[in-house]
Amino acid sequence: MMEEIMERLKEPQESEDEMDITFPSDYEWRTKLYFKLLDKQKEGKMEDDTLQESSKVLHDWNIIPSKSKKVPFCAPDAARLAKKEFLIGPGPITWTVSDISKAGCLLTTPPIPTSFSDEQEMRRVYTLIYDVYRYKSILSKALEDVAFFYEHPKMKKSMSRVWLLLYDLYHRSFKKRTVRNASVAQALFAESGLQEVEEAVWSDRVKLAASVARLRIKHSALRLSQLLPYHLRDEKVSTHAKHAPVTCWVNIKKVK
């Protein structure tokens, strides 16, 4: 029995390295594991960065810095606001010179008989008249500010036509008409009696432009539509008039 025990003790014993036993408390093992995880994290982060750069989409708020030193890099908000189209200033002109002439005929007292070539022209003319009356309170303030009717007392009888031409002048940004439109307007306005009003409004264009700008600055408005009462700011009526059918009521007792 003793001989067997002695023989077993003489046999070579396996070391800890050969058995590959590592305890969690081993400092070297924890250090190696920490650096391995750190390397993997760095590799993963670099891959994510390359993927983001390749799939990056430039939107309005993404600003590419200028390489030129002369051009300073602007703030993202400033560039975004500059690129974004805000409703600043007058809206687009959707009427022609002929429409203004026919609207002037209808705004004359008494109205001058007017015929329309088609339904679309009639829509444009009446929509223009509707918009003029929507803005008449603002247009009147601008005219009073420059004492327009004091300088042109004859125009008081045709106040609505003054509003019409001032409204058109505002949408032209107080600039001249094109050469082609100017020649046509002179002929049409002479027939409809708008030529004198046109010349009077144009002579005070600088004062009127300054008056409109003061109104906008006073009320912090980007457009004149923001100066309107809330029940008149809705553009649905104008938009609806361009597409919806034109209807009206006729009193057959008064009309044959």
Average pLDDT, the chain: 76
pLDDT band at 243, cuts 50/70/90?
Answer: low
Q: What are the counts of helices (DSSP H) followed by strands (DSSP E) for the chain? A: 13, 0
Amino acid, single-letter form, for residue 51: L
Residue 194 near residue 98 (C-beta atoms within 8 A): no
Give residue-wise pLDDT tens across range 195-217: 999 999 999 999 999 999 999 89
- The pLDDT of residue 74 is 42
- The pLDDT of residue 65 is 47
Q: What percent of the chain has pLDDT over 90?
A: 34
Task: With a cut of 60, say whether residue 256 has pLDDT above it.
Answer: yes
Looking at beta carbons, which pairs linking 232-241 to residues 24 or more positions away fall under 8 Å? 232/134, 237/130, 238/127, 238/130, 238/131, 241/123, 241/126, 241/127, 241/130
Give residue-wise pLDDT tens across range 121-134: 999 999 999 999 99
Q: How far apart are CA 114 and CA 108, in angstroms?
A: 11
pLDDT band at 84, cuts 50/70/90?
Answer: very low
pTM: predicted TM-score of the whole model, two decimal places: 0.59
Give residue-wise pLDDT tens across range 147-197: 999 999 999 999 999 999 999 999 999 999 888 888 889 999 999 999 999
The kind and range of the H/E element at 215 are helix 205-218
Give residue-wise pLDDT tens across range 1-31: 556 655 655 555 544 444 556 666 677 777 8
- Residue closest to 241 by CA, chosen among 137, 138, 127, 146: 127
Q: How far apart are CA 107 and CA 110, in angstroms?
A: 8
Both structure tokens of 4: 């067997």
End-to-end Cα, the chain, rounded Å = 142
Task: With a cut of 70, say whether residue 39 has pLDDT above it.
Answer: yes
Domain ranges of the chain: 97-243
Q: How far apart are CA 143 and CA 153, in angstroms?
A: 12
